[in-house]
Homo-oligomer: A and B are copies of this chain.
Amino acid sequence: MRPSGRTSNQLRPITITRQFTKHAEGSVLIEFGETKVLCNASVVEGVPRFLKGKGQGWVTAEYGMLPRSTHSRMDREASRGKQGGRTLEIQRLIGRSLRAAVDLGQLGENTIYVDCDVIQADGGTRTASISGASIALHDALFHMRKTGMIKTNPLRHMVGSVSVGIYKGTPILDLDYIEDSSAETDMNLVMDENGGFIEIQGTAEGETFTGDELMQMLELGKQGIREIFDLQRKAVAV
* Binding-face segment, A36-44, A46-54, A228-236: A36-44
Q: A34-B22, A67-B113 are in contact. Are A204 and B214 (CB under 8 A)?
A: no
A178 at the binding interface (Cβ < 8 Å) = no
Evaluate contact between A100 and B204: CB separation under 8 angstroms: yes
Question: Which B residue sits closest to A89, measured CB to CB?
Answer: B89
Cβ–Cβ < 8 Å partners of A89 in chain B: 85, 88-89, 92
Evaluate contact between B199 and A200: CB separation under 8 angstroms: no
Closest CB-CB distance, A139 to chain B, in whole Å?
13
Evaluate contact between B115 and A76: CB separation under 8 angstroms: yes
Cβ–Cβ < 8 Å partners of A121 in chain B: 23
Count of identical protomers in the assembly? 6
Evaluate contact between B197 and A200: CB separation under 8 angstroms: no
* Binding-face segment, A2-10, A126-134, A144-152, A188-196: A188-196
Which residue of the partner chain, among B22, B40, B83, contacts A66 with CB atoms under 8 Å? B40
Question: Which B residue sits closest to A65, measured CB to CB?
Answer: B78
Evaluate contact between A21 and B197: CB separation under 8 angstroms: no
Cβ–Cβ < 8 Å partners of A211 in chain B: 195, 197, 218
Evaluate contact between A119 and B68: CB separation under 8 angstroms: no
Question: Which B residue sits closest to A43, measured CB to CB?
Answer: B73
Cβ–Cβ < 8 Å partners of A208 in chain B: 100, 191-192, 194, 196-198
Q: Which of A159-193 contact B (CB under 8 A)?
A: 187, 191-192
Q: How far, in angstroms, from A144 to B67 measured CA to CA in the complex?
A: 20
The contact sample of 20 A-B pairs, CB cut-off 8 A, is A40-B66, A40-B68, A42-B68, A42-B73, A62-B67, A66-B115, A73-B115, A79-B83, A81-B82, A85-B88, A85-B91, A88-B88, A89-B89, A96-B203, A100-B204, A100-B208, A195-B211, A196-B209, A197-B209, A198-B203
